[in-house]
């Protein structure tokens, strides 16, 4: 089995974990293919490049940001990704550094389950589309003031929002920035998108849940003093400047994200374990 490895070099355990995986991989029947930024951390071994190899699965070594970056790669290639959490929350991850070797063993043996997640494509004006797993966010990058945004769904005007910005989130992203902004938590099997305003300057505007088949279009109505003050962010990573009155269009991606898990833990169980969901008396120290 060809296993692609991506990672974040900022995490201190990464180098030791890479060496451990490289040592165990031949006996497990796994051929490890590394992305260039981390390949140099595995010296003296014959290795293949992630960019050139025909991969069966991806392994993400890092935090939630690394997992999202890997999920976009996996989505584009149509292969599942399994996360090994080296960070803090690791909401999407299925393993930790202590059981990373066992995770690879189970991947090779096919002892895992795959969960299908919705992804979106975003287009700014006439620019090429870009993929997002969690969310597409239109927000300010400069001075502290509200911006006016016109939101339309399938060509029908929803309304004008005066806010710090707008989040269009997938069910996967509903537990991220959208949740912090007051949006609902959406079970991953629900086929929907969430449109969540960021700090709206009115009591009448609330998060909106629309079908996943909908086209969400957002246009900035106010002219901005400088173009760098309006930004579009995808998964909190890729960012582009947004010109005044330019339209951002968000649609469902043709290919889903395939998340690999080592157990059949439910979404609600993960909420309780990772986000301390539930009554305070149920939480453990």
Active site residues: 64
Residues whose CB is less than 8 angstroms from the CB of residue 114 and which lie 6 or more positions away in sequence, other chains included: 80, 258, 259, 260, 261
What's the Cα-to-Cα distance from 106 to each of 23, 35, 82, 267, rounded to whole Å?
17, 22, 11, 21
Residues whose CB is less than 8 angstroms from the CB of residue 146 and which lie 6 or more positions away in sequence, other chains included: 162, 163, 164, 199, 201
Residues whose CB is less than 8 angstroms from the CB of residue 59 and which lie 6 or more positions away in sequence, other chains included: 3, 4, 5, 6, 81, 82, 84, 100, 103, 104, 107
């Amino acid at each position: 089995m060809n296993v692609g490895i991506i990672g974040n070099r900022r995490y201190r355990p990464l180098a030791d974990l890479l060496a451990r995986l490289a040592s165990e991989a031949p006996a497990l029947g796994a051929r490890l293919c590394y992305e260039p930024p981390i390949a140099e951390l595995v010296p003296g071994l014959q290795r293949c490049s992630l960019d050139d190899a025909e991969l069966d699965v991806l392994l993400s070594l890092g935090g939630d940001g690394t997992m999202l970056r890997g999920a976009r790669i996996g989505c584009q290639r149509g292969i599942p990704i399994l996360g090994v959490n080296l960070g803090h929350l690791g909401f999407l991850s299925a393993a930790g550094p202590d059981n990373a070797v066992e995770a690879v063993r189970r991947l090779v043996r096919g002892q895992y389950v795959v969960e299908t997640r919705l992804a979106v494509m975003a287009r700014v004006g006439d620019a090429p589309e870009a993929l997002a797993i969690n969310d597409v966010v239109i927000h300010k990058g400069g001075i502290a003031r509200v911006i006016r945004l016109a939101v339309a769904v399938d060509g029908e005007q929803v309304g004008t929002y005066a806010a710090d910005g707008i989040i269009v989130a997938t069910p996967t992203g509903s537990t991220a920035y959208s949740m912090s902004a007051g949006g609902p938590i959406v079970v991953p099997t629900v086929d929907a998108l969430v449109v969540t305003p960021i700090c709206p300057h009115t009591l009448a505007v609330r998060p909106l849940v629309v079908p996943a088949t909908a086209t969400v279009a957002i246009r900035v109505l106010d002219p901005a003093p400088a173009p760098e003050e309006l930004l579009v962010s995808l998964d909190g990573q890729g960012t582009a400047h947004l010109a005044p009155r330019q339209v951002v269009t968000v649609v469902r991606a043709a290919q889903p994200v395939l998340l690999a898990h080592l157990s059949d833990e439910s979404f609600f169980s993960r909420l309780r374990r990772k986000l301390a969901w539930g009554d305070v008396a149920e939480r453990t120290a």
